[in-house]
Amino acid sequence: MATDVQHHHPAPTPESARGHQSVPSNSTATTVIGSFVPFKLEGNDTTTPPSAVDTDTDDANLPEPRQLLERIPTVLQPSIPWRKRLMHFTFAWYTVTLSTSGVSLVLAITPHRFRGLSTIGLVIFLLDLLFFLVITTSITLRFVLYKSTFRRAFTRPHEALFVPTFFLSIAAILCNVAEYARIFLFNGDISYGVPSDGNDNDDPRASLTSFATFLCVAFWFFSGLTFLASVIQYHLLFTVKAERRLSLTTITPAWVLPIFPVMLIGTLAGSFSRTQAPSSAISMICAGLAAQGLGLLVSFFFFSSYLSRLMAFGLPAQRAGMFIAVGPPSFTGAAVISMASDIPRVFAQLDPARVAVLIGGMGPESMETSLAAAGCKLGAIWLGVFLWGLGFWFFISAVAGCVAGMQDKRFHLSWWSLVFPNVGFTIASIKIGAGLGSEGVLWMGSGMTVALVLAWAFIGYRCVRAVVKREIVWPGHDEDS
């Protein structure tokens, strides 16, 4: 793990920038390590290398660990106990659970289905819960064993930007809970006032009411927590030491991640409002719409600087992260359509006087109410189409960037950006296709679902391989460096 020294150390020489090419082909592991590393490590030595020492020094006389270690292939470096590797287990690992939850969510709503598809999605969701437990336990152990890493995780920008993936994972899990409860517990319908059929000895309405109460509490708690977290995290990034601050020359779409959980408040509102009484549902939808607007507009502010960076300084080294830009417009379009789809039900069940206020003084007659609800739903679909175009442009740009080649071809956890932002793009496509009654768009959504599953499986394999091959969870190779 690199320390602050990297911000004061001179830039690496052309020789060191060549990475693995600087290792002579006829050198043994011992010779190579002895040539480049200023400390001795035997094959079975468990001494902590300087890059893994729990220190926060700015001593300019120390060597730059990351530059030294990256010049040596990790397979030639002495093994480090898992306890030491755990120091480099960062918040970026939550991109694994976020992507896995996203895949299971898309499988729950994809339009063209076959028997057993919902069960497959449920299995992936249960697997995601296991991943979430393992990752949370590992990060907790990291903070317990290396106490100083807790502060660093929130003040070192490269890792701090991934802290919100924890909240994003929780939001995705909650969405999956709502969808798979609808499929397996409530016979495909969790709308308020329409409980599933049950035995005479059971009370399905009571079961649905309890479930709706849980979702309501979870929604408002998540909304308050993520709004506060976004303010605090951006404040920390604004006030870190000058030498640690991010530079506009290296801006990427990952800079929007602290506001990303706020955007998913709208996604939760669109999923949960159907379970709520009309008065509670309209409050939830209004809060979701406000949060969605906040997240989208803040993202746009960052995207203007991001596009300027691309024009002036070219594509980033880790091209997979470019897909993060697909998320904000896509999730916003999908959330707005989902929230508006519940408006006809809310207006039909809400007090007529309250409806008259909401629709701007129109009479409470049923005809006018239904027209207002239909107009709201239609406007949301057009807004979704409007934002879908922006998401599609960012998607094609990211594809072109990856096809053009990546300067850094090693596996990074940012590769999961190929999955979770495109979950929003896929859901938006499905919602738009359903709203417009377009079979072609629906088939495109199904095709993207297949592509997401394949990408998730491939990146999952590369992630496991990277851990085994010491490409990640290794000194100088993670977001904490």
Give the sign of the dihedral formed by CA 411, CA 33, CA 79, CA 478. Answer: negative
pLDDT of residue 360: 64
Q: Considering the domain boundaries, does residue 479 fall inside one?
A: no
Tokens representing 423 are 């979950």
Q: Considering the domain boundaries, does residue 477 fall inside one?
A: no
- Distance, in Å, from the CA atom of 447 to the CA atom of 442, rounded to the nearest integer, reads 9
Co-location of 76 and 92 in the same domain: no
Q: Considering the domain boundaries, does residue 480 fall inside one?
A: no
Domain boundary among the residues 80, 95, 114 is at 80
Collapsing DSSP states into helix, strand and coil, what is residue 389?
A: helix
Q: Considering the domain boundaries, does residue 428 fall inside one?
A: yes
- The one-letter amino acid at 417: S
Q: Considering the domain boundaries, does residue 20 fall inside one?
A: yes
Co-location of 198 and 131 in the same domain: yes
Domain boundary among the residues 80, 102, 120 is at 80
Q: Considering the domain boundaries, does residue 68 fall inside one?
A: yes
Co-location of 335 and 195 in the same domain: yes
Q: Considering the domain boundaries, does residue 110 fall inside one?
A: yes
- Kindly list the distances between the CA atom of residue 192 and the CA atoms of 183, 213, 368, 409, in Å, as whole numbers in the listed order: 15, 11, 23, 50
As averages over each run of 10 residues, the pLDDT of the chain (481 residues) reads 40 41 40 38 38 41 46 68 88 95 96 94 97 96 92 88 95 96 87 58 66 96 96 92 84 93 95 93 95 95 93 88 95 96 89 70 62 89 96 95 80 91 96 94 96 96 91 79 69
pLDDT of residue 408: 67
Co-location of 102 and 204 in the same domain: yes
CB within 8 Å of 404: residues ≥ 6 apart: 315, 319
Co-location of 52 and 191 in the same domain: no
Co-location of 255 and 361 in the same domain: yes
Domain boundary among the residues 16, 50, 80 is at 80
Q: Considering the domain boundaries, does residue 327 fall inside one?
A: yes
Q: CATH number, domain at 301?
A: 1.50.10.150
- Determine the number of helices (DSSP H) and then strands (DSSP E) in the chain: 18, 0
How many structural domains comprise the chain? 2
Co-location of 65 and 212 in the same domain: no
Co-location of 22 and 113 in the same domain: no
Half-sphere exposure of 2 (CA within 13 A, CB side): 24
Collapsing DSSP states into helix, strand and coil, what is residue 202?
A: coil
Co-location of 66 and 91 in the same domain: no
What long-range pairs does 449-454 form, CB within 8 A, spacing at least 24? Answer: 449/106, 449/107, 449/110, 452/102, 452/103, 452/106, 452/419, 452/422, 452/423, 452/426, 453/103, 453/107
Co-location of 307 and 412 in the same domain: yes
Co-location of 59 and 187 in the same domain: no
Co-location of 381 and 405 in the same domain: yes
pLDDT of residue 363: 52
Question: Structural domain of residue 59, as residue ranges?
Answer: 4-80
